[in-house]
Every structure is written in structure tokens, then in C-alpha cells.
Structure 1
Amino acid sequence: MVSRRILLVALASGLAGAPLAAFAEGDDHPKPAPRKPAPRPRPAAAQGAPAPRSTVNEYPKPAETHAPEIIINPDEALGRLKHGNAIFARGGASMALPSWARINELSNGQKPFAIIVGCSDSRVPPELVFDCTLGELFVVRVAGSTVSREGLGSILYAVEHLGAPLIVVLGHTKCGAVGAAVDVVTKHSHLHGALFDMALPIIPAVLEAQAKSPADLQDAAIRQNVRITAERLKSADHILADRLASGRLKIVSACYSLSTAQVEFNI
């Protein structure tokens, strides 16, 4: 029977030489330097035509730039959102993808002009609703448009470090999360685990709306919920309170209509 050492030596001599066999046996020899593959010949270019590029790395890349400083006051930011929604509601929203120049510009920093605290509902994407593009909105979304401790931290980051001058708490008609909270109050529905945790912050808005005996309790609770959230944000942290007092920040609530695509702002 052929010994393991002889077999290794025979295999190694045919593949990479004696050092590989010695390394397999545990001898302290350095590995041979890897061989560089021979370059592949390029096909000859047609006469008068440029030679084809063979790798992605050979394509030109946009020059690196720095994100420009955006200086905008809260009222101007609100006006941009209103204008963008008017475009979206009449079916004229731009669906063009951002250019490579824009993507590269944003790789160096961001300056969103507004923070949108919205619902996770797939029918209400803020960038589309307000006809905005990459880098313009800082979005915090959770079902029911509520704000957790983590959500507040995200908002503070966008205000303090990114300079966003506007916060919009955006609800929408026929919100399922608010509907679930309404069922808990009026039908004593049982929600298990995290679903109850989702509905719990909305229940005060349902109770306040219910006290006014509205014709449509769910719709009234949706609007009351975003109003309460916006009001609580105004005193949730001294950074927000200070910027509100100095006029550098505005916090408003709003409601998006699924049927008309229009946003109604509460100012």
C-alpha cells in the first residue's frame, strides 16, 4: 500500500512542487507565492471604435463632493411639503430615481428639511406623498404614528445634529392601528403581546375623541392621536422646546386621505 507521505509528495510534485508536500506533513516551510494568472487577451476593437471596457472599475465614477449646506426656515419647509403633496395629489409626482451625482453627494452627509413621524402603512410612504427624493426627509415610522423613546431619540438626532427645522406627525384615514385601539375601548377586544403595546399609546386619543361623541369615532381618534403626539413632542425634550421658542423649529400634525391623496395640516 502506498504510504500517505509518498502519495502527498506525488500529488504535490504534480501540482505545486515539494514545498506543498512538506507543509502538508507539518514541516515548517513557507508557502509558495501564489501564481498570477496570465492576462486574458482582449478582443481587438473595431477600426475607429474605442476599446471595450472589461471591468466595472474602469467605468468613470462621479467626483467626490460635499453635501451643500441647506438653510431653510420652518415655514419654508412646510411650504415645500404642501407644494409636493399638491403635485402628488394631482398625479404629477416625479418618479425619477436620484442620479449618481446626488447619491455620491449624500454619501458625505445629509441635510433633510423635514422630519416625518408617520404610520408604517404601505399606502402612505412620505417620500411619495410629498414628492420628495433621496436625502430630503428624515422619516420615523411605526403603526399608528406614535413616538416611543427610541423614536424620540431619532427625532432629536435629526433636529440637533442634522438641523431639520420641521416635524410633521402624519396620520391617515382608515388607520388600522387606531381602529384596533378603538375596538379595545368600545368592544373590549383582546390584543396579545406586542399588538397591545402598539395600541396602548393610542387609547388616550380614542377616549378624548369618544367624549365628543363624533359621528365617526375612528376618524376622530386618528386626528386626535396625531394632535396629541405633536403637542407632547413640543415639551418632550429641552432641545425641541428651546428651538420652538427661538423660532427655529415648528411641530405640526397632519392627516393624509387615502381616497384623495391630499394632506390636511393642523396648524
Structure 2
Amino acid sequence: MVSRRILLGALASGFAAPVMAWAEGDAPSILTRKGRRTRRALKTQATDKAALDKALGQVKPLEAPEPVEAAQVVAPQRVSPDEALGRLKQGNTIFSRGGASIALPGAARIAELAAGQQPFAVIVGCSDSRVAPELIFDCNLGELFVVRVAGSTVSQEGLGSIVYAVEHLNAPLVVVLGHSQCGAVGAAVDVATRHAELHGALLNMVLPILPAVMEAQDRHPADLQDAAIHQNVRDVAARLKVADGLLAERIGEGRLKVVSACYNLATAQVEFDA
């Protein structure tokens, strides 16, 4: 009787039938007719295996797609400030209705973006994870130049980023985007009305928002936080218009528009001030 290990090894090697017969004491002799049939069968298996190995050796690996040359890519036509604003409004309408049409960029678009970018708008937004500009405006890779910080404020570094997008990338539109229930503005309201204590970087984050809170507070609104959110983005947009000579020049020439807007977390709609 043959051991179980030998049987399993034989089964794994593909010669189950002859070994099983041998294990049962009925192994065919190569001198008998049955033995000659078995030998021919084994020879045929070996021939088939050799043919298969030869065929596999002739299979070529998949070739990588040829790179798209820059000359094959047509650069998008530049748009006016009003056209850019219209695209954002249309995109938000699509998103708020649940019909976002964003598709992953293909190889041609990725190759085009590797050669350069031409965003049609700059979005100065809040870092809130629920307010991703590319999503809420139904835009794709390379269409928006985004500067984000909690509270939608602009530092000198942020201003430099905006100027770069306008001067070197020819972006015709800057949108300062706030949103409902903004935590940074809420913290500024607490500092102004309840004397809440913030430390270090958190205090520095809300300091630029405090003037908007004080201005909104003078109007005694029913919802101070909401009023301060709208006032804050209006103030930031107004300051951007005169913060840099290039921006002021482009605005005067009609080549640039700076507007403020607020995104409603509940409705997914953006309310523009222009």
C-alpha cells in the first residue's frame, strides 16, 4: 500500500491515473496492449505540454501606451470673467441637483496638464472638508486654482498664490468662498461676544475674521455667525481688489473679476454676491 503523501504528490504532478493504478496493484506493463496505450497517452501529454510552452514563449507582454505629445493636445480657449463665473454657477447647479458629471481625466488630459495649467478661476476657500471646490462646482483636474485656509482669509502667502494664478496662469476670476456653519467664524464670534480664550495659532487664525464679526454685530442680526460669515468673505474680496497693483490693473481693464460667495452645507447651493 502506498502512503498518502506519495498519492497527493502524484496527483499534484498531473500523473494521477498511472500512479493510482500502481497503488491499487494494477499498474499496466509496457509490454501489454494496455501498457502501450498508456505510454502513448503520456507521450501525447508531453508533446502537448511542449507545444503549450512554446506558444506561451511567443506571447509578447502588453506594451505601454505611447506618450501623448504636447503638439497633439489643443489648449483650451481662454474665457472672460463673466463666462468663468457662469461656468461656476452652472457647475454648482448641477452638483446641488445631484447630477455631478465629474469623470476621471484620461491619458491625454493628464499629459496636457503635465505640460502646463490654465485654470479658469481661483477659489479662495475654507479648509472645511465638506466644501471641496472641485466637487461643488462640478469641475475637474486643472480647472480651478484653489487657495484654502480655515475661515477663507488671505495671508501674504495666499495673496502671492492668487497673484501668481492671475499673472502667470491668466485666471480671469477670483471667488472668495465662505460656507454656512463655518467653525473658524464661529470661534471668532465666541472671542468677540463671550471673550473665549484661544491660544497660539488658533488665535492667529481668527484675528483676521474679528473685524467682520464686529461689523456684523453692529447690525444686530438674528444669526450673528451667519451674518459674520457673509461679511467676512465680502471684506476679503474687497481687500483683494486693492491688495496688489496687478490685480487692480486687471480689474480696471476688465480682464479680472473678484467676487464673494457662500456655500450652504444643507442645500449644496452657492449664493454669489455678483
Compute the TM-score of the two structures, normalised by the length of structure 2: 0.78
* In structure 2, C-alpha distance between the alignment counterparts of 1:154 and 1:125, rounded to whole Å: 18
Aligned counterparts, 1:52-91, within 5 A:
52-53=60-61, 58-65=63-70, 68-91=75-98
* In structure 2, C-alpha distance between the alignment counterparts of 1:44 and 1:147, rounded to whole Å: 67
Equivalent residue in structure 2 for 1:227, among 217, 234, 246: 234
Q: CA deviation at 1:95?
A: 3.7
CA 1:73–1:190: 2 relative to 1, 3 Å = same
| SS of match in other structure, 2:215 | helix
Q: Does 1:181 align with 2:188?
A: yes
* In structure 2, C-alpha distance between the alignment counterparts of 1:159 and 1:112, rounded to whole Å: 10
One-letter amino acid of the structure 1 residue matched with residue 199 of structure 2: H
Q: List runs of 5+ in structure 1 lacking aligned partners.
A: 1-42
Q: CA deviation at 1:171?
A: 0.2
| SS of match in other structure, 2:115 | coil
* In structure 1, C-alpha distance between the alignment counterparts of 2:132 and 2:54, rounded to whole Å: 50
For the pair shown, the structure with the greater C-alpha radius of gyration is: 2
Q: CA deviation at 1:51?
A: 2.3
* In structure 2, C-alpha distance between the alignment counterparts of 1:159 and 1:219, rounded to whole Å: 30
CA 1:188–1:60: 2 relative to 1, 3 Å = same
Equivalent residue in structure 2 for 1:148, among 148, 155, 160: 155
| Residue pair 1:72, 1:113 contacting (<8 A) in 2 also | yes
Aligned length: 221
Write 1 or 2 for the structure with the bigger share of helix: 2
* In structure 2, C-alpha distance between the alignment counterparts of 1:181 and 1:154, rounded to whole Å: 25
* In structure 2, C-alpha distance between the alignment counterparts of 1:79 and 1:69, rounded to whole Å: 17
Aligned counterparts, 1:161-172, within 5 A:
161-172=168-179
* In structure 1, C-alpha distance between the alignment counterparts of 2:105 and 2:74, rounded to whole Å: 14
Q: CA deviation at 1:70?
A: 2.9
One-letter amino acid of the structure 2 residue matched with residue 144 of structure 1: G
Q: CA deviation at 1:100?
A: 1.4
| SS of match in other structure, 1:145 | coil
Q: Match of 1:137?
A: 144
* In structure 1, C-alpha distance between the alignment counterparts of 2:195 and 2:144, rounded to whole Å: 38
Q: List runs of 5+ in structure 2 lacking aligned partners.
A: 1-52
Q: Match of 2:17?
A: none
Compute the TM-score of the two structures, normalised by the length of structure 1: 0.80
| Residue pair 2:68, 2:107 contacting (<8 A) in 1 also | no
